[in-house]
Amino acid sequence: MYLYHFAMKKLPFGLTPDTEFFCPVNTHVEALNVLAFAINSGEALIKIIGEPGTGKTLLCRLLLNQLQNDRKVAYIPCPKLSTRELKFALSKELGLLVSDQCREDQLSQKIQNRLINLNKKSGPVVLIIDEAQVLDGEGLETLRLFTNLETEFQKLLQIVLFGQPELDQLLNRTELRQIKQRIVFSYRLSHLSFSQTNHYVNNRLKVVSSSKIHYSKLTNALVHYYSRGIPRLINVLCHKALMAAYGQGNNAISSANIIRAAKDTESIKTPIQDHTVLVVSSILLVISGSVMAFWGLS
């Protein structure tokens, strides 16, 4: 691979949500601030929505890392489960050993007792659910009933839902209005802007290598254009572009490398018919951004 060629300690654009690569762009920082405030305020239900590839799972990992020293955290990464399976998954995260033959009412009572004991030690348990859009109505209703568990002063369980926009569609169903009403704080992740894309790419390159890898504003314009500011697609494009640069013996991510990477990526739907028009458009985008930045600072 290209690690030795670019003097990198590891791949900078992998698809695994590695918290070492966290880049504090506005949308992710704002989401973390909403989460911190809502959890510290004792809210029972918090929701983070984002399109695929916008960084929800990375935020999950960051939140887990932030909370693990102070609070008991339960994490369910794929909640496509029946009501009973969901309860068993939660009981396992809480450290309960429960027989498969345990009745539902007994299981619920065991979970409640465990939450009470944990609350005495470290406060409410935080349950983080990733890919929450795959929950069905019964699963969401089960979570709502868990939010009813409380002491005189606080909830026993706080639930954070990370999901795609389909979760909002599900919550708009009339029969789920009770759980929707309990979501006081929510946040929708946005795509990265032109300048945020540039910051994101350079931050990842800086994490893995002390040597400067050339990445121009024109190249960034193409990355932003093709990826639409979606971090996962930015990673795919830049990874393939680095492979192409390595194959050519170059030490820069060039515009030609990005165009080639976009051609080779199925999730890039934009037709690439006239590269000259595209490059000229990108140049104009860079110039326009520079002019706007100048006037904004003057």
In a domain, 4, yes or no: no
Distance of CA 72 to the CA centre of its chain: 21
Q: Which of 272, 293, 275, 282 is nearest to 223 (CA)?
A: 282
Residue 282 confidence class, pLDDT cut points 50, 70, 90: low
In a domain, 7, yes or no: no
Residue found under tokens 């971090």: 231
Answer yes or no: pTM beyond 0.75.
yes
| Per-chain mean pLDDT for the chain | 89
Same domain, 138 and 153: yes
Cβ–Cβ under 8 Å, residues 149 and 112:
yes
CATH of the domain at 225: 1.10.8
State the Cα–Cα distance between residues 146 and 200, nearest whole angstrom: 38
**211 pLDDT more than 90:** no
Domain boundary among the residues 133, 158, 188 is at 188
For residue 215, which phi and psi values (nearest 5 degrees)? -145, 100
Cβ–Cβ under 8 Å, residues 232 and 9:
no
The predicted pLDDT at position 274 comes to 46
In a domain, 3, yes or no: no
State the Cα–Cα distance between residues 104 and 41, nearest whole angstrom: 31
The predicted pLDDT at position 298 comes to 39
Measured over the CA atoms of residue 285, residue 288, residue 289 and residue 290, the dihedral's sign is positive
Structure tokens belonging to residue 68: 């693990």
The predicted pLDDT at position 47 comes to 98
**272 pLDDT more than 70:** no
In a domain, 21, yes or no: no
Domain range for 82 is: 26-188
Structure tokens belonging to residue 35: 């989460």
In a domain, 11, yes or no: no
Q: pLDDT per residue over 67-111, tens digit each?
A: 988 899 999 998 888 999 999 999 999 999 888 888 988 999 999
End-to-end CA distance of the chain: 45
What total of structural domains would you count in the chain?
2
Q: What is the mean pLDDT of residues 151-155?
A: 86
Same domain, 130 and 43: yes
| Sheet of strand 125-129: strand arrangement | 73-76, 125-129, 157-163, 45-49, 183-188
Cβ–Cβ under 8 Å, residues 246 and 3:
no
* Identity of the residue numbered 180: K
For residue 284, which phi and psi values (nearest 5 degrees)? -60, -35
